[in-house]
């Protein structure tokens, strides 16, 4: 008869046999998975046989999520990570080595810029930043020197530039480069970049896919061969997604379409309502006819999405007053949530920058970025109206400073952009 501890360990770790299929994916909260014998374990660990041995290498809940997102993107394969940045990191490391060059659009998420400049830059990978709206400039950059990766965001953070992915994929491939697309602002519901020619698509699943501001996750999709390389990087760098987090993201995925429809409808109405109001210089939402890439957006996006940006004529002070007067939106970072989240980069994430530095980063002093949640439109309109009044009260009588139009190219090497 074994001792109490031996019996307790054995008794408490017998996974039940389940003959009926559960209707949600179980949370496989186990780091280790046993094989029948040493040969099987060896084969599983060396990928000669499918199966699980150690959760950093593979976990069934994570793999269900990766397969589901890949399927929705029309991609052969996918892999999930502990965060969107982990997905971007592993994806880029799977493609570049010291001496390689990346061409990246100016308007990208701040940590992505920092990863490119500070992390990969420190390892001998150079990045050239280009204006995402200037196809000729992108082509010139690709022609100037051999380039391994062209990196773009489908809808950019924070300035809502819509990149023409089919054109960029053609350009990249003609110049021997691969196209990597961050599709976070769009999600697979609005845009499927693989079908437009992208080689790898990354997303922060923390945002629209998870959808509730309660889980961090990231994903990369692409061909089987490319994802195998991404997975190999992850195995050795370790940013694995916890199975409970994968479960939460899977649950989010089931309602992505209806949430995106509501986010997009409310954002289009709110952005349309704001456009032309006193104190509002410009509004950027892909659904608006005034959007600089309205035609690309119509072609490429199913709907305009839940993100928009707008500039207040009153500059930095008006932006701060607007944010402080809001009562419904959360004053926080992040996006793609049930909650409306409004950020004013010049008084929060970028408060250390002068107006000149902000303009160089494509961020007007009065620029606000709004991630529209699932609250009722009328309530948001009333709240924004009252915040506009508050912003107007601090706006200089002659209209204050005229704000710069995004995207103004930022000097390569700056890390300015919205975080979150
Ligand atoms: C466009 C974009 N990509 C990537 C990320 C990084 O995602 P995560 O916070 O899940 O690492 C963010 C975060 O805000 C983002 O906005």
Kindly report the CATH number assigned to the domain that includes residue 375.
3.90.1150.10
Residue 388 lies inside a defined structural domain of this protein:
yes
DSSP-assigned beta bridge partners for residue 130: 105
Q: What is the pLDDT of residue 273?
A: 98
pLDDT-based confidence at residue 330 (cuts at 50, 70, 90): confident
What spacing in Å lies between the alpha carbon of 182 and ligand 1's midpoint? Answer: 9
Mean of pLDDT values over 134-152: 97
Question: Phi/psi at 150 (nearest 5 deg)?
Answer: -105, 120
Q: Are residues 84 and 213 in the same domain?
A: yes
What proportion of the chain, given as a percentage, has pLDDT over 70?
92
Q: What is the pLDDT of residue 77?
A: 98
Structural contact between residues 139 and 114, judged by C-beta atoms closer than 8 angstroms: no
Which whole-number Å values give the CA distances from 325 to 322, 328, 342, 366, in the listed order?
5, 10, 11, 15
pLDDT-based confidence at residue 235 (cuts at 50, 70, 90): very high
Q: Domain containing 247: what range?
A: 57-254
Ligand 1, atom nearest to 87 Cα: 11
Examine the fold and report which residue of 195, 219, 254 is the final residue of a domain before the chain moves on. 254
More confident residue, 198 or 360: 198
Q: What is the pLDDT of residue 346?
A: 81
Running DSSP on this structure, what letter comes out for residue 338? S
Examine the fold and report which residue of 254, 275, 296 is the final residue of a domain before the chain moves on. 254
Q: What's the chain's average pLDDT? A: 92
What spacing in Å lies between the alpha carbon of 155 and ligand 1's midpoint? Answer: 12
Residue 207 annotated in active site: yes
Q: Are residues 240 and 296 in the same domain?
A: no
Ligand 1, atom nearest to 216 Cα: 10
Q: What is the pLDDT of residue 64?
A: 98
Q: Are residues 171 and 115 in the same domain?
A: yes
Chain centroid offset of residue 299 CA: 21
Residue 82 has pLDDT above 50, yes or no: yes
More confident residue, 399 or 153: 153
Catalytic residue among 56, 251, 298, 302: 56
Q: Are residues 217 and 334 in the same domain?
A: no
Q: What is the pLDDT of residue 165?
A: 97
Q: Are residues 97 and 236 in the same domain?
A: yes
**206 Cβ below 6 A of ligand 1:** yes
Which has the closest alpha carbon to 95: 41, 149, 164?
149
Cα 320 from Cα 325, distance rounded (Å): 9
pLDDT-based confidence at residue 396 (cuts at 50, 70, 90): low
Ligand 1, atom nearest to 217 Cα: 10
What spacing in Å lies between the alpha carbon of 58 and ligand 1's midpoint? Answer: 23
Residue 48 annotated in active site: no
Catalytic residue among 148, 207, 259, 262: 207
Neighbours of 179 (CB within 10 A): 25
* Least confident interval from 82-91, 320-329, 400-409: 400-409
Q: Are residues 169 and 300 in the same domain?
A: no
What spacing in Å lies between the alpha carbon of 87 and ligand 1's midpoint? Answer: 10
Cα 153 from Cα 131, distance rounded (Å): 12
Which residue has its alpha carbon closest to ligand 1 atom 8? 84
**85 Cβ below 6 A of ligand 1:** yes
Q: What is the pLDDT of residue 415?
A: 34
Please state the pTM of the whole predicted model: 0.92
Q: Are residues 307 and 326 in the same domain?
A: yes
Residue 379 has pLDDT above 80, yes or no: yes
**252 Cβ below 6 A of ligand 1:** no
Residue 413 has pLDDT above 50, yes or no: no
More confident residue, 345 or 26: 26
Q: What is the pLDDT of residue 139?
A: 97
What proportion of the chain, given as a percentage, has pLDDT over 90?
84
b/e sequence 252-263, b meaning 16+ C-beta within 10 Å: bbeebeebbebb
């Amino acid at each position: 008869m074994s001792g109490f501890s031996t019996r307790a360990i054995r008794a408490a770790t017998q996974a039940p046999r389940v003959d009926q299929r559960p209707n949600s994916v179980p949370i496989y909260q186990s780091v280790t998975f046993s094989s029948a014998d040493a040969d099987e374990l060896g084969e599983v660990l060396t990928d000669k046989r499918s199966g699980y041995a150690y959760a950093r290498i593979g976990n069934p809940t994570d793999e269900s999520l990766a397969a589901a997102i890949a399927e929705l993107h029309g991609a052969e394969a996918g892999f999930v990570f502990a965060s969107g940045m982990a997905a971007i990191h592993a994806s880029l490391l799977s493609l570049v080595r010291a001496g390689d060059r990346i061409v990246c659009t100016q308007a990208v998420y701040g940590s992505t810029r920092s990863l490119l400049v500070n992390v990969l830059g420190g390892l001998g990978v150079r990045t050239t930043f280009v204006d995402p709206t200037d196809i000729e400039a992108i082509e010139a950059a690709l022609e100037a020197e051999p380039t391994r990766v062209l990196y773009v965001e489908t809808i950019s953070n924070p300035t809502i530039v819509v990149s023409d992915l089919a054109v960029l994929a053609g350009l990249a491939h003609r110049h021997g480069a691969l196209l990597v697309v961050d599709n976070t602002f769009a999600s697979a519901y609005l845009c499927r970049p693989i079908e437009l020619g992208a080689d790898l698509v990354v997303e922060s699943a923390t945002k629209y896919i998870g959808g509730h501001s309660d889980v961090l996750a990231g994903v990369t999709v692409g061909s089987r061969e490319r994802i195998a390389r991404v997975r190999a990087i992850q195995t050795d760098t370790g940013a694995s997604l916890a199975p409970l987090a994968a479960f939460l993201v899977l649950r989010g995925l089931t309602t992505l379409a209806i949430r995106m429809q509501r986010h997009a409808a409310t954002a289009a109405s709110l952005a349309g309502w704001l456009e032309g109001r006193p104190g509002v210089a410009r509004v950027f939402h892909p659904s608006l006819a005034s959007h600089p890439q309205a035609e690309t957006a119509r072609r490429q996006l199913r709907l305009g999405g839940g993100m928009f940006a707008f500039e207040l004529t009153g500059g930095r002070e008006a932006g701060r007053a607007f944010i402080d007067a809001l009562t419904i939106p959360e004053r926080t970072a992040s996006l793609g949530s049930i909650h409306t989240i409004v950020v004013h980069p010049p008084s929060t994430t970028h408060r250390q920058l002068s107006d000149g530095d902000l303009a160089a980063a494509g961020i007007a002093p009065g620029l606000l970025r709004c991630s529209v949640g699932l609250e009722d439109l009328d309530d948001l309109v009333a709240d924004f109206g009252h915040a506009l009044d508050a912003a107007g009260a601090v706006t200089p009588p002659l209209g204050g400073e005229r704000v710069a139009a995004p995207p103004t190219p930022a000097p390569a090497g700056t890390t300015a952009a919205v975080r979150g």
